[in-house]
Structure 1
């Protein structure tokens, strides 16, 4: 995969393991909002909560910096298709639950 020179190829687990070494935009926002909140998060007294935005960011990181092969190995995209309608099964269906 060709990538611009300014992008560093780094596996997500390596990136996240080193996250405490750097001030992220999220931590900076916490500090701006409340320095005490920032401090408590740094001490591990307040755990980070996962969110759909974080999941999307992790997926984007994997696809952009690690490539399509790593993305395909880590994430499932799509789902089973109903052969009768040609449309994907809904998340609440048995077919989707078995696929996921």
Structure 2
């Protein structure tokens, strides 16, 4: 992905009333699964993203908690050192499963 939004931008997109903004933010998270430097972090993010976007209710504490969790994953991904392997964590998991 050529442009990676900041954590604040991601939060704003997930809280935006326009559905396309929320979809873009979720897509950015999904793309990061392949870039995650740690297999465990990749697994967590993949599981989180696989559930999709919850019902949009910006005033609901559960929705706000979900947004906070998404932003937390994003911050962890951005703070993690780069993976030393040329294989992505997803590819490493596939190889390990064989």
Bin for the TM-score computed over the shorter chain: under 0.3
Structure with greater proportional helix content: 2
Which structure ranks higher in relative contact order (CA pairs < 8 Å, sequence separation ≥ 6)? 2
Q: Which has the larger radius of gyration?
A: 1
